[in-house]
Amino acid sequence: MIGWEYPPYKSGGLGTACSTLTNGLASHNIKVTFVLPVSPPETPDFLKILGTDTLKNIKITPIPALLSPYTTLLHYDEQHAAISENNTPYSQDLFSEVYRFTLAVERLATNEDFDLIHAHDWMTFQAGINLKKATKKPLILQVHATEFDRTVNSPNPTIVAIEREGLLAADLILANSKYTKRIILKHYPVDEKKIRVVYLGTEQKKERPRHVKREKKVLFVGRFTQQKGPERFLEIAQRVNSLEPDTTFVMAGQGELLPHLMFLTEKFGLTKNVTFPGFLTGEALETMFASAACCVMPSAAEPFGLVALEALSKKTPVIISTNAGVTEVVKSCLTADYEDIDRMTTLILTLLRDKALQEKLGERGQREVKHLNVETYTQGVLNAYAEVTKKTV
């Protein structure tokens, strides 16, 4: 399996989806070698933490590479410039570094015995193609988001070409929603018959941390990129604040838009209402979900929306864009068109003022997401494995 992030080295839902799946496969006695690029300064600690065979049926293999999750061409150039004086082995540009990572994966695979190749999103596609050619093993590509989603329909043509080559070479394509399947078919000449929709799942934990009370708090959790709509969230926050000035808005995450978001916070007069706690994980994130009146996901493009499952598992109502893939399987989410700021504002105000509705939607949502768990997600992938290997797994 080839990915580009894995906890504790993660910045978004892809890392959570990959670790959940890997653990699920391991519980079915499927042996997984998970390969991923790890860039400085995380490399030494990551190698120390996970570069061993200590997990049953799971071997994490980090490859030093200057490839951060969800990196952009500009971000790569900035990273490279920051370390170029150290005579590093890293490539001059993003695509050359992806190719260098691809060659490293190929070399590593010569010492591995495996039945199939499973690659996640565009950075890993060329490595998957090359391994398929070299070993004649079946290739499964899992699409969490396309270049059209990540850039809100302003794609980089080189990445589009990489995605096209990978999708055509794959024996099966796993899409995380019908929405993603439609995007693939719209932009790529792929045979619909080889696409399988496999919805993501999450670990089912306790309802909420004890002694945590709901507050007048509106939550955003996600990467600070155009795709996720953090600027739209602040526009909505400004409107809500004008009517409910004692509301707190929490923006949990990180990303390239952070400086701009902090500027907008001051411009909109929200410095006393908006907090930026950084990227939250574990108990800190669970507590944040459990204490919020609602979680808002105003994404311009949301192929699935794993945050919605995480929020609803803590009985936190979710307001999400109508184009989110998660709405195909979770009906308790409140929805609004990405452009409809008025409706988003109205939905938030309604939940802030109606605690009974908060509780009702939270309980309904928690019941719904129970069937979107590790086992259902894993079983969907196992069915795909059986299909391409002609073996029962």
What pLDDT is stored for residue 72 in this prediction?
79
Q: Evaluate whether 25 touches 56 at the Cβ level (below 8 Å).
A: no
Mean pLDDT computed over 298-318: 95
Given this model, what pLDDT does residue 206 score?
56
**Same-domain status, 248 and 155:** no
Q: Give residue-wise pLDDT tens across range 45-81.
A: 555 555 444 478 999 998 988 887 777 788 788 777 7
Task: Answer yes or no: do 284 and 135 share one domain.
Answer: no
**Domain match, 274 and 307 both:** yes
Residue 2 in domain? no
- Amino acid 288: pLDDT: 95
More confident call, 10 vs 114: 114
Domain extent for 175: 13-201+373-389
Are 51 and 192 part of one and the same domain? yes
Whether 167 and 295 share a structural domain: no
Residue 45 lies in a domain: yes
Q: Are residues 363 and 381 in the same domain?
A: no
Domain assignment of residue 210, yes or no: no
Residue 50's pLDDT is: 54
Check residue 15 and give its pLDDT.
87
Which whole number is the average pLDDT over 268-284?
Answer: 94
> Could you tell me which of 312, 384, 392 has the C-alpha nearest to residue 21?
384
Domain assignment present for residue 99? The answer is yes
43 and 128 in a single domain? The answer is yes
- Mean pLDDT score, 295-320: 96
Whether 186 is in a domain gets the answer yes
Per-residue pLDDT at 374: 94
Q: What's the pLDDT tens digit per position in 180-226?
A: 999 999 999 999 999 999 999 988 765 555 678 899 999 999 999 99
Question: Are 92 and 79 in the same domain?
Answer: yes
pLDDT above 70 covers a percentage of the chain that reads 92
Domain match, 285 and 226 both? yes
Q: Following DSSP, what letter does each residue of 101-156 receive, concatenated?
A: HHHHHHHHHTT---S-EEEESGGGHHHHHHHHHHH---EEEEES--HHHHTTS---
**293 and 157 share one domain:** no
DSSP labels, 78-98: HHHHHHGGG--S--SSHHHHH
Q: Are residues 146 and 18 in the same domain?
A: yes
Number of domains comprising the chain: 2
Q: Record the pTM.
A: 0.92
Strand 294-297 relative to strand 217-221, pairing: parallel
Based on the domain organization, do 140 and 110 belong to the same domain?
yes
pLDDT of residue 117: 98
State the CATH number of the domain containing residue 172.
Answer: 3.40.50.2000
State the pLDDT at residue 51: 46
Note whether residue 3 is domain-resident: no
360 domain residue, yes or no: yes
Main-chain dihedrals φ then ψ at residue 41, nearest 5 degrees: -90, 5
